[in-house]
Protein backbone atom coordinates (compact mmCIF):
# COMPACT_ATOMS: atom_id res chain seq x y z
CA UNK A 1 0.00 0.00 0.00
CA UNK A 2 1.30 3.45 -0.92
CA UNK A 3 1.06 6.13 1.67
CA UNK A 4 2.61 8.21 4.41
CA UNK A 5 3.66 6.81 7.73
CA UNK A 6 4.12 8.89 10.85
CA UNK A 7 5.45 7.50 14.06
CA UNK A 8 4.77 7.40 16.87
CA UNK A 9 1.05 8.20 17.05
CA UNK A 10 1.41 9.62 20.58
CA UNK A 11 4.58 11.04 22.08
CA UNK A 12 5.26 12.35 25.55
CA UNK A 13 8.37 14.31 26.46
CA UNK A 14 9.64 16.32 29.39
CA UNK A 15 10.11 20.04 28.97
CA UNK A 16 13.57 20.92 27.71
CA UNK A 17 14.11 17.72 25.73
CA UNK A 18 14.50 17.60 21.99
CA UNK A 19 12.25 15.12 20.20
CA UNK A 20 12.22 13.84 16.61
CA UNK A 21 9.05 12.95 14.74
CA UNK A 22 9.31 10.48 11.90
CA UNK A 23 7.68 10.82 8.47
CA UNK A 24 8.15 8.32 5.64
CA UNK A 25 6.43 8.12 2.25
CA UNK A 26 6.50 5.47 -0.46
CA UNK A 27 4.55 7.49 -3.04
CA UNK A 28 7.71 8.60 -4.88
CA UNK A 29 6.74 12.21 -4.23
CA UNK A 30 9.32 14.97 -4.52
CA UNK A 31 7.78 17.43 -2.05
CA UNK A 32 7.16 16.91 1.66
CA UNK A 33 5.69 19.16 4.35
CA UNK A 34 5.32 19.50 8.09
CA UNK A 35 2.29 21.23 9.61
CA UNK A 36 1.31 21.99 13.15
CA UNK A 37 -2.38 21.85 14.13
CA UNK A 38 -3.78 23.50 17.23
CA UNK A 39 -7.51 23.62 18.11
CA UNK A 40 -9.22 26.45 16.27
CA UNK A 41 -6.01 27.46 14.46
CA UNK A 42 -6.15 25.38 11.32
CA UNK A 43 -2.90 24.09 9.87
CA UNK A 44 0.26 26.14 9.98
CA UNK A 45 3.28 25.28 7.86
CA UNK A 46 6.52 24.59 9.72
CA UNK A 47 8.91 23.49 6.95
CA UNK A 48 8.68 22.09 3.45
CA UNK A 49 11.06 20.44 1.04
CA UNK A 50 10.73 20.19 -2.73
CA UNK A 51 13.86 18.16 -3.34
CA UNK A 52 16.39 16.08 -1.44
CA UNK A 53 18.92 18.12 0.56
CA UNK A 54 16.87 21.30 0.28
CA UNK A 55 14.09 22.74 2.45
CA UNK A 56 12.41 26.05 3.19
CA UNK A 57 11.01 27.60 6.34
CA UNK A 58 7.28 27.95 6.68
CA UNK A 59 5.34 30.42 8.80
CA UNK A 60 6.32 28.99 12.20
CA UNK A 61 9.80 27.46 11.79
CA UNK A 62 11.29 28.86 14.99
CA UNK A 63 12.18 26.09 17.44
CA UNK A 64 12.01 23.35 14.80
CA UNK A 65 14.56 21.73 12.50
CA UNK A 66 14.33 19.26 9.60
CA UNK A 67 16.51 17.24 7.28
CA UNK A 68 15.89 15.68 3.86
CA UNK A 69 18.68 13.22 3.21
CA UNK A 70 16.45 10.74 1.38
CA UNK A 71 13.47 11.29 -0.90
CA UNK A 72 11.29 9.05 1.27
CA UNK A 73 12.03 10.60 4.64
CA UNK A 74 11.51 14.04 6.21
CA UNK A 75 12.02 13.93 10.00
CA UNK A 76 11.08 16.90 12.18
CA UNK A 77 12.95 17.75 15.37
CA UNK A 78 11.14 19.80 17.98
CA UNK A 79 13.86 21.52 19.97
CA UNK A 80 13.85 22.90 23.48
CA UNK A 81 13.70 26.38 21.91
CA UNK A 82 10.09 25.79 20.85
CA UNK A 83 8.10 27.58 23.55
CA UNK A 84 4.84 25.69 23.26
CA UNK A 85 5.44 22.36 21.51
CA UNK A 86 2.33 20.49 22.62
CA UNK A 87 0.28 20.04 19.43
CA UNK A 88 -0.82 17.66 16.69
CA UNK A 89 1.81 17.38 13.94
CA UNK A 90 0.93 16.40 10.40
CA UNK A 91 3.28 15.37 7.63
CA UNK A 92 2.24 15.52 3.97
CA UNK A 93 3.70 14.93 0.54
CA UNK A 94 2.87 15.91 -3.03
CA UNK A 95 4.07 14.89 -6.46
CA UNK A 96 5.89 18.14 -7.12
CA UNK A 97 5.45 21.74 -6.02
CA UNK A 98 3.15 22.97 -3.27
CA UNK A 99 0.82 25.22 -5.22
CA UNK A 100 -1.32 22.97 -7.45
CA UNK A 101 -0.60 19.37 -6.50
CA UNK A 102 -2.79 17.42 -4.13
CA UNK A 103 -1.16 16.90 -0.76
CA UNK A 104 -1.44 13.48 0.86
CA UNK A 105 -1.38 13.48 4.63
CA UNK A 106 -0.14 11.04 7.22
CA UNK A 107 -2.22 10.12 10.30
CA UNK A 108 -0.38 12.58 12.54
CA UNK A 109 1.64 12.52 15.76
CA UNK A 110 0.20 14.02 18.93
CA UNK A 111 3.05 15.47 21.00
CA UNK A 112 2.53 16.30 24.64
CA UNK A 113 5.26 18.04 26.59
CA UNK A 114 4.96 17.61 30.32
CA UNK B 1 -0.17 38.48 3.69
CA UNK B 2 -2.53 36.27 1.75
CA UNK B 3 -5.22 34.63 3.83
CA UNK B 4 -8.17 32.25 3.81
CA UNK B 5 -11.22 32.93 5.96
CA UNK B 6 -13.71 30.28 6.95
CA UNK B 7 -16.66 32.21 8.24
CA UNK B 8 -18.14 29.55 10.51
CA UNK B 9 -16.16 27.63 13.10
CA UNK B 10 -19.02 25.18 13.74
CA UNK B 11 -22.01 24.17 11.64
CA UNK B 12 -24.66 21.81 13.06
CA UNK B 13 -27.10 20.33 10.55
CA UNK B 14 -29.72 17.59 10.58
CA UNK B 15 -29.17 14.42 8.61
CA UNK B 16 -30.44 14.61 4.98
CA UNK B 17 -30.50 18.42 5.10
CA UNK B 18 -28.36 20.53 2.73
CA UNK B 19 -25.23 22.25 3.97
CA UNK B 20 -22.96 25.08 2.83
CA UNK B 21 -19.55 25.72 4.37
CA UNK B 22 -18.26 29.17 3.54
CA UNK B 23 -14.75 30.13 2.47
CA UNK B 24 -13.33 33.46 1.31
CA UNK B 25 -9.81 34.05 0.03
CA UNK B 26 -7.62 37.10 -0.46
CA UNK B 27 -8.11 38.66 -3.85
CA UNK B 28 -5.37 37.70 -6.27
CA UNK B 29 -4.75 37.54 -10.00
CA UNK B 30 -3.95 33.85 -9.73
CA UNK B 31 -5.29 31.53 -7.08
CA UNK B 32 -5.73 27.79 -6.68
CA UNK B 33 -8.33 26.58 -4.19
CA UNK B 34 -8.80 23.37 -2.24
CA UNK B 35 -11.16 21.77 0.27
CA UNK B 36 -9.81 19.07 2.58
CA UNK B 37 -11.67 16.97 5.16
CA UNK B 38 -10.30 15.65 8.46
CA UNK B 39 -12.04 12.88 10.35
CA UNK B 40 -11.33 12.66 14.11
CA UNK B 41 -7.70 11.94 14.97
CA UNK B 42 -6.70 11.44 11.34
CA UNK B 43 -4.84 13.29 8.63
CA UNK B 44 -6.50 15.35 5.93
CA UNK B 45 -7.97 14.05 2.69
CA UNK B 46 -8.66 16.06 -0.46
CA UNK B 47 -12.35 16.62 -1.26
CA UNK B 48 -11.91 18.76 -4.37
CA UNK B 49 -9.79 21.47 -5.95
CA UNK B 50 -10.10 24.32 -8.40
CA UNK B 51 -7.14 25.10 -10.63
CA UNK B 52 -8.81 26.57 -13.74
CA UNK B 53 -11.72 26.02 -16.11
CA UNK B 54 -15.28 25.38 -14.96
CA UNK B 55 -16.13 27.32 -11.83
CA UNK B 56 -18.27 24.47 -10.48
CA UNK B 57 -16.07 21.72 -9.13
CA UNK B 58 -17.35 18.31 -8.11
CA UNK B 59 -15.53 16.24 -5.54
CA UNK B 60 -15.79 13.03 -3.61
CA UNK B 61 -18.66 11.98 -1.33
CA UNK B 62 -21.21 14.16 -3.19
CA UNK B 63 -19.56 17.50 -2.33
CA UNK B 64 -19.19 20.37 -4.77
CA UNK B 65 -17.83 23.91 -4.64
CA UNK B 66 -18.18 26.99 -6.77
CA UNK B 67 -15.37 29.42 -7.52
CA UNK B 68 -16.71 32.97 -7.49
CA UNK B 69 -14.04 35.45 -8.50
CA UNK B 70 -16.13 38.59 -7.94
CA UNK B 71 -17.03 37.50 -4.39
CA UNK B 72 -13.57 35.93 -3.77
CA UNK B 73 -15.39 32.88 -2.45
CA UNK B 74 -15.17 29.11 -2.78
CA UNK B 75 -18.08 27.75 -0.75
CA UNK B 76 -18.52 24.01 -0.28
CA UNK B 77 -21.98 22.46 -0.63
CA UNK B 78 -23.73 19.13 -0.29
CA UNK B 79 -27.45 18.69 -1.01
CA UNK B 80 -28.04 15.99 1.60
CA UNK B 81 -25.64 15.19 4.43
CA UNK B 82 -25.09 11.91 6.25
CA UNK B 83 -23.92 11.14 9.75
CA UNK B 84 -20.62 10.01 8.23
CA UNK B 85 -19.97 13.57 6.98
CA UNK B 86 -19.32 14.69 10.55
CA UNK B 87 -15.74 15.99 10.39
CA UNK B 88 -13.66 19.14 10.20
CA UNK B 89 -13.40 20.82 6.81
CA UNK B 90 -10.52 23.03 5.73
CA UNK B 91 -10.40 25.47 2.86
CA UNK B 92 -6.93 26.22 1.46
CA UNK B 93 -5.46 28.46 -1.21
CA UNK B 94 -2.24 28.82 -3.08
CA UNK B 95 -1.40 32.14 -4.66
CA UNK B 96 0.87 33.26 -7.46
CA UNK B 97 3.97 31.26 -8.12
CA UNK B 98 5.06 28.06 -6.47
CA UNK B 99 3.87 29.08 -3.01
CA UNK B 100 2.73 26.80 -0.20
CA UNK B 101 -0.90 26.37 0.72
CA UNK B 102 -2.52 28.76 3.17
CA UNK B 103 -5.19 27.03 5.25
CA UNK B 104 -8.28 28.45 6.86
CA UNK B 105 -8.97 27.72 10.51
CA UNK B 106 -11.50 25.01 9.71
CA UNK B 107 -15.23 24.44 10.07
CA UNK B 108 -16.48 21.63 12.26
CA UNK B 109 -19.54 20.05 10.65
CA UNK B 110 -21.77 18.10 13.03
CA UNK B 111 -24.55 16.05 11.46
CA UNK B 112 -27.42 15.35 13.84
CA UNK B 113 -29.61 12.26 13.50
Tens of pLDDT, residue by residue over B35-74, are 999 998 889 999 999 998 899 999 999 999 999 999 999 9
Cα distance between residue B45 and residue B70, in whole Å: 28
Residues 28-57, chain A: which have Cβ within 8 Å of B? Answer: 33, 35, 40-45, 48, 50
Cα distance between residue B35 and residue B45, in whole Å: 9
Cβ-based contacts under 8 A for chains A and B: 62
pLDDT recorded at residue A49: 96
Closest-CA distance, A69 to chain B, in angstroms, reads: 21
CA-wise closest residue to A67 among A75, A79, A59: A75
Which of B1, B34, B100 to mutate: most A Cβ within 10 Å?
A: B100
Is pLDDT of B98 > 80? no
Mean pLDDT to the nearest integer, A44-54: 95
Question: First and final CA of chain B: distance in angstroms?
Answer: 41
Cα distance between residue A61 and residue A67, in whole Å: 13
Cα distance between residue B82 and residue A67, in whole Å: 42
pLDDT recorded at residue B28: 75
- pLDDT one-digit tens code per residue, B82-92: 999 999 999 99
Cα distance between residue A44 and residue B102, in whole Å: 8
Closest-CA distance, B113 to chain A, in angstroms, reads: 25
| Extended strands (E) in B1-113 | 4-6, 10-14, 19-21, 23-25, 32-38, 44-50, 56-58, 64-68, 73-78, 87-94, 102-103, 107-112
Task: Decide if A90 and B44 are in contact by the 8 Å CB cutoff.
Answer: yes
Q: Given A42, A50, A98, which is nearest B90 (Cβ)?
A: A42
Residue A95 touches chain B, beta carbons under 8 Å = no
Amino acid sequence: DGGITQSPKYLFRKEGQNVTLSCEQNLNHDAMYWYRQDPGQGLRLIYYSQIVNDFQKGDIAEGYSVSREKKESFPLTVTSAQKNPTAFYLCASSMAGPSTDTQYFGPGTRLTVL
Amino acid sequence: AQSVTQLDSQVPVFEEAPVELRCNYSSSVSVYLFWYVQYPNQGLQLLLKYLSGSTLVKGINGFEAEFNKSQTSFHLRKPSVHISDTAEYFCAASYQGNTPLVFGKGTRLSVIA
